[in-house]
Amino acid sequence: MKKSELRTPCYVVQERKLRENLEILREIREETGCHILLAQKAFSMYRVYPLIGRYLDGATASGLHEARLGYEEMGKENHIFSPAYREEEMPEILRMCDHIVFNSPAQFRKYKDLVRRYEIQTAEQVENSKTAGRSVKNAGGISMGLRINPECSTQEGHAIYDPCAPYSRLGTTLERLQAELTEEEICELDGLHFHTLCEQNSDDLATTLRAVEEKFGRYLSRMKWVNFGGGHHITREDYDRELLKKCIRHVKETYGVEVYLEPGEAVALNAGELITEVLEIVDNGMKIAILDTSAACHMPDVLEMPYRPPLKGAVSTEDADLRENKYVYRLAGPTCLAGDVIGDYVFDHPLQCGERLVFQDMAIYTMVKTNTFNGMNLPDIVLEKEDGECEIVRTFGYEDFKSRL
């Protein structure tokens, strides 16, 4: 099927661009010896997990269902972090995950003995299976880590994405670490994890690392690994990859630890489109094009961040010279939410009903966040192969809406 034959709205993930991103990430891995994981919270299109798994070390999850998806569909290293774990979910998490990162000393203390008991039980199963000729999965032990908060904000203008903001619920400060864990308990940790970035360059990582070393440096050499978290825009054109490599090598050589990165956006950055159709055009002081896609339902970051997605063949009014006599339209969704507005764009021609528009960079934080408010149908999920052929991976309908209610 060709792209022009697809029904709208639909997400189209481009295999060629995805592979280009993965090749950049593989280069980082090979030149530094670090481990790179897919952060599924940004991109969970498991149809391409076999491709991603050929380049990366595995996946990381924010909860049980993501952990199960990574375990079943990628089958490599499987990490998890949650601000708090549910007791009834821990047996399944232990079965599927290689690394478990705790958010607080209390969570670590609550579950560390359970983890060690599971390891002993699994080791006994391995020994028994050798005699019986069977194999046991996940027998290599579970690595436990603690998320730390270096109290070093590098965000500008997006406090909602700043884990180092005052009163943050994410990560343990040095003060709380020293007050709540004994030296013996700290020695039971295998690693430290920090995640403070969001769509940022490596200069912000370098700044954060200085804060981490200043506050937690005395503990780093006791660890087996350090996880730099996500938010690294490694595949962005202006990203300073040489500085990233320098940061990784410095930590590995100084403290004798393994280094992990957990990019989400960098894996699928600029690798997807959202194709939509103009349903109607109304005029209320300006031209408003009502589309068959919704900011509220299909691209929530437009309202949450806020984020203005690039549009093929048009320019956002934020970047355009409106003194020129061009065609300005507000693009909006069909829901009842008055603020279901994607943004104002400048075109070089008047829009027509039935015309197709293509939003770009729509693989990340889109299909993972969709909802069916107003009974809106979810966009089809499509994979565009490198030869231009399109494979419809998933379609949605009434039952998907009804089953959630």
- Please determine, for residue 105, whether its predicted confidence score (pLDDT) is greater than 90: yes
230 shares a domain with 353: no
What is the Cβ-side half-sphere exposure of residue 6, based on CA atoms within 13 angstroms? 31
Co-location of 186 and 246 in the same domain: yes
Instruction: Please identify, among 241, 268, 295, the residue that sits at the C-terminal boundary of a domain.
Output: 268
Instruction: Please provide the DSSP assignment of 88-152 as one string.
Output: GGHHHHHHH-SEEEESSHHHHHHHHHHHHHHHHHHHHHHHHHHHHT---SS-S--EEEEEB----
**Is pLDDT of 173 > 60?**
yes
User: Same domain for 66 and 210?
Assistant: yes
Burial of 263 (0-12, 13-18, 19+ CB in 10 A): buried
pTM of the model: 0.94
pLDDT at position 129 over 70:
no
How many domains are contained in the chain?
2
- CATH number for the domain spanning 325: value is 2.40.37.10
Is 129 within the bounds of a domain?
yes
Q: Which of 13-27, 306-320, 332-346, 387-401 has the lowest mean pLDDT?
A: 306-320
Contacts of 204 (CB under 8 A, 6+ apart): 154, 197
Looking at the fold, whether 63 and 196 belong to one and the same domain comes out as yes
Whether residues 69 and 216 share a domain: the answer is yes
Q: Are residues 167 and 47 in the same domain?
A: yes
What percentage of the chain carries pLDDT values higher than 70?
95
Pair (248, 283) in one structural domain: no
Same domain, 84 and 203: yes
218 and 284 in a single domain? The answer is: no
Per DSSP, the three-state class of 68 is helix
Strand-pair partners of 383: 13, 391
Q: Is 95 within the bounds of a domain?
A: yes
Going by C-alpha positions, the residue among 395, 261, 383, 392 that lies closest to residue 17 is: 383
Q: Is the pLDDT of residue 115 over 60?
A: yes
pLDDT at 121: 87
Average of per-residue pLDDT across 254-282:
98
Shared domain check, 203 and 61: yes
Name the pLDDT band for 305 (thresholds 50, 70, 90).
Answer: confident
Distances (CA, A) of 4 to 229, 309, 355, 388: 39, 21, 12, 11
Can you give the pLDDT at residue 26? 98
* Residues 248, 315 share a domain: no
- H helix or E strand, kind and range, residue 175: helix 174-180
Cα separation values, 179 from 106, 174, 175, 183, Å? 11, 8, 6, 10
Looking up residue 130, the CATH number of its domain turns out to be 3.20.20.10
User: In angstroms, rounded to a whole number, what is the distance separating the alpha carbons of residues 146 and 105?
Assistant: 8
Same domain, 110 and 221: yes
Domain that holds residue 245: 33-268
- Residue pair 80/58 in contact (Cβ under 8 Å)? The answer is no
Last residue of a domain, one of 244, 268, 292: 268
